[in-house]
A and B are shown apart, each in its own frame.
Chain A
């Protein structure tokens, strides 16, 4: 077939619209419930190797022991260990809408018992890059109770605090 005779390529858009239900499960449900009702962070500690899991889960990923009911309270303060700023548009997974901006995203090490802790990916209130430092102390700012849904977004962001 010569180039002139090559057929036109016809693309088709095969869009799909799926709605799935994602179960949080027994352990995560409990922690989301605590966020909503009591503005508290409830993680779980492995009884064997003492690793703290946030979000809580049924077995320890490291040593595979059952976590049982070893609930531990975390936060509400923590330490910033890393951060980034998104400059490109991204898609909000809950609405499918294009998000053009979001606050700096940070990994915050939530305070835990006996000097331990657990990391969480969340937003910072501080948007000035000059003011964000590794090791800075932050505290969770919650939505007012009537607006909380039992989601990670019940925490609006983490605010810098002096200590």
Chain B
């Protein structure tokens, strides 16, 4: 904390209804939905917002310079603003930008908005068609000459990750399946989750291979939705709310361009570098004991398990055993993704913002049915995306 010029707190959060598609709204209306809820949560109006940060990936959603179209609906009119784009971690990068702006005294109250509104899937028959299009759209983010022709989107990345872990760790597929079951159980308690139906271990183990050895139920859905957060300076935060959630620290780590090494794996080092920086800077020597809740960006259940090791939450080869014995359940030793995670709700662009929102709600004690049944003083939100960006935010109840 010592190095930030001013303290920054989360004073409001908002989530839209998430679903396979939201044909009832267009993009700017969908953004507006979560912003209104966020303003209500903070008991503020559009006038109170000094600045906006837009998270969007133009090339995925078919609107260039989308922050321009969004302006009128996001309290952006005649105000300054930023537009960031870092793949799936974008929702986190946008929040980090807001924190920087508030800490630097550029603005006092900053709104972050992240929306995912593509065409939306159009029915079960076309499901793989729509999925193929989504994977192809994301494959466009990888090198056009070198990577794209073999690479079948992020799905392939997690398939490689799964095969590697299976080969050396001794993990059982049942353990991974249990982790997926946990996500579903948590999501059923979360009104803003997308996939809210029960999943059994058998269903996971029998779900078809999408990319062997990755099974369908081990990967996230395609969701449409939006999220918004308001960050404020200490002075304003104390006036706005009696439950400010303090931003203790933020870390971003990127990675080299080509994904090949990450499929061995060699390159989850970005996850590791970011987490280690976060623990070290904040004097956290045993995150498993010192962090009360962790919302990790888990595009696949395999990622939730494997990255536990890379983030130094446990030793190499230990994560699947912890998951197997229920240590990461909502009432477990180390609640991981009590919201149901990305594997239950994946609007993509807002996904990291949602991790940060969920972590903030836990600190505030406002997560309702999916509130972890223990005291939450410190929570971490994590984001992942694109060419292996990783973002981390450490949130706490106590003013740093």
Interface residues of A (CB under 8 A from B): 9, 11, 13-14, 16, 20, 22, 24, 28, 32, 55, 57, 61-62, 81-94, 98, 102, 105, 107, 119-123, 129, 134, 151-153
Contacts and interface: CB of A to CB of B under 8 A. Distances in A.
B139 interface: yes
Interface of B: 23-24, 62, 119, 128-129, 131-133, 135-136, 139-140, 144-153, 155-156, 159-160, 163-164, 167, 208-214, 256-261, 263-264, 266
B264 A81 contact: yes
Given A88-B131, A93-B148, A16 B210 contact: no
A36 to B, nearest CB: 13
B210 A88 contact: yes
Contact of A89 (B128, B149, B256): B128
A50 to B, nearest CB: 15
A83 B213 CA distance: 9
A94 B136 CA distance: 11
B132 A98 contact: yes
Contacts of B211: 84-88
Contact of B208 (A87, A90, A152): A87
B132 A14 contact: no
Given A82-B163, A119-B264, 14 more contacts: A20-B144, A82-B164, A84-B211, A86-B211, A86-B212, A87-B208, A87-B211, A89-B129, A98-B129, A102-B152, A121-B150, A121-B263, A129-B212, A153-B149
A85 B212 contact: yes
Contact of A120 (B23, B140, B260): B260
B163 A84 contact: yes
Contacts, number: 113
15 contacts: A9-B23, A11-B119, A22-B144, A61-B257, A83-B163, A84-B159, A88-B128, A88-B155, A90-B135, A94-B149, A107-B260, A123-B150, A134-B167, A152-B146, A152-B149
A109 to B, nearest CB: 8
Contacts of A62: 256
Contacts of A87: 208-212
A106 to B, nearest CB: 9
Contacts of B209: 85, 87
Contacts of B159: 84
A69 to B, nearest CB: 21
Nearest to A120: B260
Contacts of A122: 150
Nearest to A14: B62
Contacts of A86: 152, 156, 211-212
Given A11-B23, A88-B211, A129-B212, A82 B160 contact: yes
Contacts of A123: 150
B146 to A, nearest CB: 6
